[in-house]
Structure 1
């Protein structure tokens, strides 16, 4: 009875080298597969070695064996979950048994002739956390396989999974309907993050490793590369935590978790053992990531699943350190559809805009930074598509439908034809919007509506002319801070604001001061952990707590607007005292500039964003202090309904077109009209024709929308008899329904409003 395999005695490198030589040899695929199982059986001192691959039906078919009956090859098929092989595929983890027939999942197949074999060791062939097959070794004696042998068979299974899936071991014709990767047409339902429609070829944000990089030629060198990569990763995370380096993305708490995992002995040891087994440093990271993905993905506990995300991101960071490349340097197809679990705004901006046609995310929310950037770039984006990344391979054809919140994977020709017809229709609509670009937004009964656009990126400045917007109603200044590796200096801020004003020309621009905190934490700013960051020290609260940061920004704004009008707006004002304190800082900076003989703006207007419900009952005190106000409907409504708009579990628990929300908006407009305070709406509602129609009926005549929403909203305005609509809306506000969306839409249709 063997007590230790030859593999563990000599190490797995020799075996991996023999497998590589067998794969590279000539001859039919079946002969090479048979040679591979013979090599594995001999080296692991096993009487049986078998390879099962998953068919598209879900069945596991015996593709090669050493030790079982040859007649069973391609004839033995196990239903999903059947037998011990099916159990290995189901749990996506190795199973080791000293007496397999006594296991409740054991399934006897007489055609295989496996009666004499008692010891069983099976490992899944994992691709993207999904088992595409199973590798099995068996012995007659009732022995226990030790930890080294289990580790070795996992390494072999990983190499086999990559080489089979790549077609290196078997040609695609020979694989027939083996599901080494999903290949059938599929339809995925998600959530609309950014409107639009596109189709193209898949690019995975974290691409799979090419097979030639799996096996190490120089194992000591790979050990050194892994060690250096881990040290660089830890130093990078420490620098972010210390505030000496800035990268956009994770919060302070997440970075602490990264550091905990980065120094975790278990994770480091798993990587080191994988490299010593004969893998490259990159392949070792990918293998350990696959194992964690398969293990954690089945967990029901949300906390455990979040730890998977931490490990995923940590592994991705380590792969980037090892590769030393950036997404923008990759060779991308002309019609790239980017697929990722999640993205930060800086990650998305690294991809060339001219090649990026669509974005599919497994996670995120419509209010996430990636979604906001996608809307600014006018890229269709669909999110909350759990598992889609593992159902796609690099180069797959896919449709990103930002109109319906769906994705079509490997679509049929008739689906592509239908999409092309819809794209042609969208082109016609875009042409119509382009014709309306210079047409003033005047309703049928002569009411002038001012349409502005939201901005925050350089590309938004180009959209200003293309959309025909009359100015920028909301410039999000935080994007410059989020994509910078360090706190932007005074001259960098000044140059950006001056460029915005130069591009706008005579058109008004409203700059919102830094809205950071909450989910927008800058790693280079020291942060304290908060139990509820959305209700914590963010936006103006952070600015007032750190007046040096806010004063630096105000100084840059005043300098950039020299001799021109400057409109500055403070976010998340919750009390009148907060606005007074913020305005005093403006006065302090103006006095500082005068003392030094510096020119100031020709006209300075200071406003507040109304996005905290507390102001609804204190507008009489706030409005006289302001030059203008803007309603931030995104935050105002989430706070009103106590439902986090970034949380998919509750984000749909309220409808903006419901009596409570509309009455609050109507009250703000009424108070502003009484005091003569200019008011606008700059939330997402302003860019949707139906919601914008409701805002017009409430008396709002100044809307700031995302660039893609300007044209549709202008078309709506031109088709509206505002007087009629306002009279009909009065009765709808008295309804007790949870949502009156259908009633408002029916009213718009009745009045022939084009939505």
Structure 2
């Protein structure tokens, strides 16, 4: 038997439209709606729960449950199956609802005789305003077509709820004090300081009419708008060709591919065929995509959501013949948004755009990469930014500390302007040091290198005056692509990195993926402790083809040049030996091909896992250099998740255990004549870098912005005095030697 819900969706929508266009009280029309849905879907129950302003879901209409339960049955968000649907904004399709752990029994409803349940969220503006559910006595699993039908009905139902008097709009408004100063915090995605006027980035698809009168006409409108969208995206890409290189261009090309994605187009066409207008079809597909992708843990998949949202908004603009370009900006605009696609930032006048603030995102997100390429400060993961900011507000973006000041008072404003002036003076002072040697007052040369992960970062190698690249994170080249880059693509990329280095040394770290860094084309289970899971060299050894292709590309790219390769997260010597064996096989293959070999080849290991401390002698016999990754090493050393704010501050990077561990590493490496460096965050802090010098490190790698401050420290310190002072601190029992080192710096005039 064919279900009417799947055989006549347009008939169902037509009947709903008649009810919505009719007269009578809104609640009476809602009762009619649930009866129509129940009959059409051959369901014994259909119910609507409205989400009130106090966060409680109230049963407003039902066909099949006890009518006395209407306005009496209430559930908090997250309570029961209905509350779970509202919390997650995702549908539930259950053949035995009462067996689900979230099931909450409400005796007044009489629902104990019903077993199967299909419930969907009713969304408006991306937020849940209600839950629509159908139930049956028999244990049945609703088909995909029935799920699609109920989701489409939920979209139409949202119109009725918003246009009726069933709830007040202010119940759902995000309220805030729009006059008081507010300080927000977030993560630094692209550094810099800015002060300007807030502009809310709020593209919205408004559906005034959801049900189509003529589906053929709607299909033509959709097809015409898609053609216009593709033409506009192609034009944008042509204009960007001369501006972006490397990953930035790859990201925009991937965005361009989405505009031609057939799967997206088919879903839009199917939504129109079901009886929706073209506008409603775009909104329907956008909401469904958002629900599915927001639940994904894969950062690449979540990144795609921003691009697809952007494309949907652009398509809607073409559909209603609205100018796709963003409104004119004030001279000093700061864009505030939930998230942004890679291309959206290009819509704004770069001469007027001062900074961007996002509620979501990641440092490796595509919009962050584009912002860094454009040198626009960006702070992300700023919770409740859009609730706290109104268009026209004065706003300060501190991309050095990850802070946002909304409607700052005069004192904050003056202090920030003073900070801007001081920063300009500092930058001028550091710029004057660029061509000066990184040498202590007693003549000891200290190598200062940059950490990089993007081709655009290589420009900072020259501008900062760094000696080379101490850590090149190769995984970002893989993470910004929808599929595995081929060997030729990798070769060209690594060759471009070496070209930009212009003879300065570059240390390539092989892929450190897994954990919280996923690849869209490689299924990696994150596990309960992703930082200690299947990642880095473990993944490379278990999937040797991945490591082989990367090593092959590096050998090809380094013809007649020095090549330095470093393997991450080595936990025992046997792992390094196995990785080196793979490289040696690739080197033999390379030689057999007759291609030019690297001028020299140096292999190193990252010291990130404390177990290596007890195999240092054996490791030092087989490596050419060591690099200490202080970020991971210290969280493993102290068993502390540095991403967890409750425990991240429980240890200090200058605590006696860290000092003793690092001193052990340096002594062993020096005795074996093996170069050792530090490439974690410690190296970029002047005070902590001073401690590393006192322990014997002579090679540090850091963020490019830290080169100037660390070089200034180096040029003011007498290393013999510092080393003697650090030696006297052996066996210290304090929680940290930070204060003691700070006192040493002040007494000796060392800027830290």
TM over 0.5: yes
SS at match of 1:697: helix
Greater RCO, 1 or 2 (C-alpha within 8 Å, sep 6+): 1
Residue 467 (structure 1) aligned to one of 464, 469, 477 = 464
Q: Is the deviation greater in 564-573 or in 500-509?
A: 500-509
Where does the alignment leave 5 or more consecutive residues of structure 1 unmatched?
Answer: 1-6, 17-38, 48-85, 106-122, 132-146, 166-174, 229-246, 249-261, 294-303
SS in structure 2 at match of 1:625: coil
Any conservation in 2 of the 1:222–1:281 contact (CA below 8 Å)? no
Instruction: Report the secondary structure of 1:521's partner residue.
Output: coil
State the alpha-carbon separation in 2 of the partners of residues 429 and 493 from structure 1.
38
Secondary structure, counterpart of 1:462 in structure 2: helix
Q: Which residue of 2 aligns with 1:540?
A: 537
Q: 1:311 to 1:552 in 2, by over 3 A?
A: closer
Q: Report the 3-state secondary structure (helix = DSSP H, G, I; strand = E; otherwise coil) of the residue aligned with 1:608.
A: strand
Q: In the aligned structure 2, how far is the partner of 1:658 from the partner of 1:353? A: 48
The answer as to 2:11 corresponding to 1:11 is: no
Structure 1 residues 728 and 318, CA, compared in 2 at 3 Å: closer, same or farther? Answer: same
Mapped contact 2:397–2:404 kept (Cα < 8 A): yes
CA contact (8 A) 2:515 2:531 kept: yes
Are 1:198 and 2:198 matched, yes or no?
no
Which residue does the alignment assign to 1:432? 429
1:594 Cα shift?
A: 2.0
Give 1:364 deviation, angstroms: 6.6
* Residues 1:670 and 2:667 aligned together: yes
Larger displacement relative to structure 2 (618-627 or 88-97): 88-97
Give 1:409's match in structure 2, choosing from 390, 401, 406.
406
Q: Please tell me whether residue 752 in structure 1 is matched to residue 716 in structure 2.
A: no
Identify the residue that residue 686 of structure 1 maps to in structure 2.
683
Equivalent of 2:641, from 634, 639, 644?
Answer: 644
CA 1:479–1:202 in structure 2 vs 1: closer, same or farther (change >3 Å)?
A: farther
State the distance in 2 between where 1:273 and 1:183 align.
44
Q: Deviations over 1:238-265 (max 9, x none)?
A: xxxxxxxxx99xxxxxxxxxxxxx9xxx
TM-score by length of 1: 0.66
Partner Cα distance (1:353, 1:476) in 2: 31
Which residue is equivalent to 1:252? none
The aligned counterpart of 2:417 is 420
Do 1:732 and 1:743's aligned partners in 2 also have CA atoms closer than 8 Å?
no
CA distance in 2, matches of 1:685, 1:351: 38
Question: 2:188 & 2:152 partners in 1: Cα distance?
Answer: 47
Query: Quick check: 1:89–1:124 contact (8 Å CA) kept in 2?
Result: no
Contact 1:129/1:390, CA 8 A, preserved across alignment: no
Structure 2 CA distance, aligned partners of 1:551 and 1:684? 30
What is the DSSP-based 3-state SS (H/G/I as helix, E as strand, rest coil) of the residue aligned with 1:11?
Answer: helix
The corresponding residue for 1:90 is 54
- Separation in 1 of the partners of 2:275 and 2:307? 18
Map Cα deviations across residues 95-125 of structure 1 (whole Å, 9 max, x no partner): 63889999799xxxxxxxxxxxxxxxxx999
C-alpha distance 441-102 of structure 1, shift in aligned 2 (>3 A): closer
Bigger mean CA deviation after superposition, 482-491 or 418-427 = 418-427
Q: Structure 1 residues 677, 127: closer, same or farther in 2, change over 3 A?
A: same
Q: Aligned residue for 1:35?
A: none
Matches within 5 A, 1:131-210: 154-158=158-162, 183-193=178-188, 195-200=191-196, 207-209=202-204
CA apart distance, 1:609? 0.9
Aligned mates of 1:308, 1:600 — CA distance in 2: 38
- Is the CA contact (8 Å cut-off) linking 1:215 and 1:280 kept in structure 2? yes
* One of 508, 512, 517 as aligned partner of 1:511: 508
Structure-2 residue corresponding to 1:19: none
CA gap of 1:725–1:499, structure 2 versus 1, over 3 A, is same
TM-score by length of 2: 0.66
CA offset at residue 467 of structure 1?
A: 0.5
Q: Structure 1 residues 218 and 500, CA, compared in 2 at 3 Å: closer, same or farther?
A: farther
CA contact (8 A) 1:513 1:571 kept: yes
Q: Is the 8 A contact 1:619 1:671 kept in 2?
A: yes
- Deviation digits for residues 351-401 of structure 1, max 9, x if unmatched? 999577545454677899988997798654545533324444677653222
> Residues 421 and 324 (structure 1 numbering): CA distance in 2 closer, same or farther, change over 3 Å?
same
- Residue of structure 2 aligned with 1:603, choices 596, 600, 603: 600
Give deviations 1:663-708, integer Å, cap 9, x for gaps: 2112111111111111111112211222212212211111111111
Task: Classify 1:490/1:384 alpha carbon distance in 2 versus 1 (closer, same or farther; 3 Å).
Answer: closer
Shift of 1:426: 1.2
C-alpha distance in 2 between matches for 1:311 and 1:504: 32
Q: Say if 1:87 and 1:318 are closer, same or farther in 2 by CA, change over 3 A.
A: closer
State the alpha-carbon separation in 1 of the partners of residues 55 and 615 from structure 2.
58
Count of paired positions: 600
Deviation at 1:208, TM superposition (A): 3.5
Cα drift, residue 572 of structure 1: 1.0
Change beyond 3 A, Cα 1:735–1:615: same
Q: Please, which runs of 5 or more residues in structure 2 have no aligned partner?
A: 1-11, 31-49, 62-66, 75-120, 130-150, 224-249, 252-263, 318-323
Compared CA separation, residues 616 and 348, structure 1 to 2 (3 A):
farther
Distance 1:683-1:8 versus aligned 2 partners, 3 A rule: closer
Cα drift, residue 552 of structure 1: 1.9
